[in-house]
Structure 1
Amino acid sequence: MTHNAFTAGVRPGGLTTSTEIRILLCYLIKNATAPLSQSELENALLSEELVNYFELASNLSELCSQGLIGVENGRYVLLPAGKDVADTLASDVPRSVREAATRAVVRAQLFAQKSAQHKAEIAPCGDGYTVRCSIVDRDREMFTLSLYMPDHLSAMLARERFVESGDILYAQVLKHLTQDDD
């Protein structure tokens, strides 16, 4: 029996049944380049408004209890029964949803990798906020930059952008500091 899912926060064309959500989760876990954490799945699927948060959490738990997925080191892995679901039923989820979810998972995994190296902390500072950005490699701080931002929203945006592309900023600064003026 197909159960209707909560649809609050789900855009038109998103998934509206628990069955579709479970199939998509098996499909994503199967096709991801590395095992996915719950936060990576949340960031990916919620940012695209493909599923409701509560439905996502509930269906992940249900997949674990059904023996379709497991958790190793805080990351989801597909078990043989889940692979069968992903292989057999993936076409039951609209292609556009599968593609949007896959792209979002790739972005979420990349963001998680970069956030391990690109650090950005926000601290209140007078009438605004300071965003302290740094790039760390093997426990050595390679680059540090502090910015004043007038409000919390712009500080959050600066933090997110630094995590996404701090390596590009670092390369540009190095280029300008080390190139000849000729």
Structure 2
Amino acid sequence: MKVAIFCGSISDRFTMKTAVDVLNSFHISNHIYVISAHRLPDVLSETLKKVENVAELIIAGAGLSAHLPGVIASRTILPVIGVPIHSHNGLLGGLDALFSMVQMPKDVPVATVGINNAYNAAFLAIHILSIKYNEIKKLLIKFRMDKKEKLINEIDKYL
């Protein structure tokens, strides 16, 4: 497994599935875990110990107070990409989750993408992994070239 994906709750899994789908399309092995940082801190710690031996980076999504990515970042040296999730239980539209991730204290970074943007979290992971893995780099370059060609063709339709 190259990427471990953590969700703070079952409801976050729907948003994070996008990251799974993107990683799978690039043939990047991943596994998704649903563990609350608040309700199951011991289970999270034990799982992180195991994950550190097999994963190269972590994507963590959570809503509301969204401490999961920060707690994970405080307990591992693996890079952590945070996905703030808009919770229908909250009143702030995901801003609470966003702020809790981007306002991490010094020395405990969480790379954070936009609210509900598990897609970009997966692409950030792909970019990071492409530094080390040539096959991922080739797929990423091909993806970018295909995307560029598609956009140019769309523009040509209107010219």
| TM-score normalised per structure 1 | 0.25
- Larger relative CO (CA 8 A, sep 6+): 1 or 2? 2
| TM-score normalised per structure 2 | 0.28
The structure with the largest helix share of the pair is 1
The structure with the largest strand share of the pair is 1
